[in-house]
Structure 1
Amino acid sequence: MPTDDQTLCVHFLAARSAAGDLRSWVVKHYFLQDSQLDINMTTTLRQLDHVMRSETFYGYDISQAPPALLTPIRHYIRLLWDGQRTLSGEHFPKKLFLKHKRISEITEATHIRHKGQNDA
């Protein structure tokens, strides 16, 4: 049974928060400059999927990262894939990209709307 958008949005928010913290962990763990990891790439489908499939983030090994940073991302990706399979390990079905994009846009639009209400 497909996961509804509201549930995906909740899990995406948790994954987005964890991904930001995981990015900080990678920067500190590998002694990088903050500017070396593009912040705009943090919640791309490819980055999040790599956390689950290859235990990498921005190409860095994250097998030693705290589980609290990995679990929300893995859970969101599992729900997003929803049992779908890909013909090749390298390519995502277009439907999956579109679903992730929609969930990302919904959460961003909700955030902007609430921010505007709080500013008024």
Structure 2
Amino acid sequence: MTSTPTDLGRLPDVVQAYLDAHARGDVPAAAECFTPAAVVVDDGSTYRGRDEIRGWLSRSSTEYTYTTTPTAAVRRSTEHWNVTQRIEGNFPGGVADLEYGFTIDDARITTLVISPA
């Protein structure tokens, strides 16, 4: 598998749409970026399907106040992309760099795994 650093402006449309919707706190728009059977893994928990993902997005957007800044992107393959984001806010520690590992099909996110960068 080849890893190719990518200009953040050249992300797949669905990844950019998710990042934009999530950054502005638009839970319905962010949830629509996922397939109906998508899986998200974040902070030791797994969320399956759009309803659970919508719940996760709702909780994560209201638990703390924070901003996200994408700092790097790597294309692993046509379907696999990693985006590193700096998160800053009122959560313990105040700053974190997280890697968002996306697997996409033609138009939607099928898997998102979030882990420390």
Q: Which has the higher contact order (CA 8 A, sep 6+)?
A: 1
Q: Which has the higher strand share?
A: 2
Normalised by the length of structure 2, the TM-score is: 0.30
Structure with greater Cα Rg: 1
Q: Which has the higher helix share?
A: 1
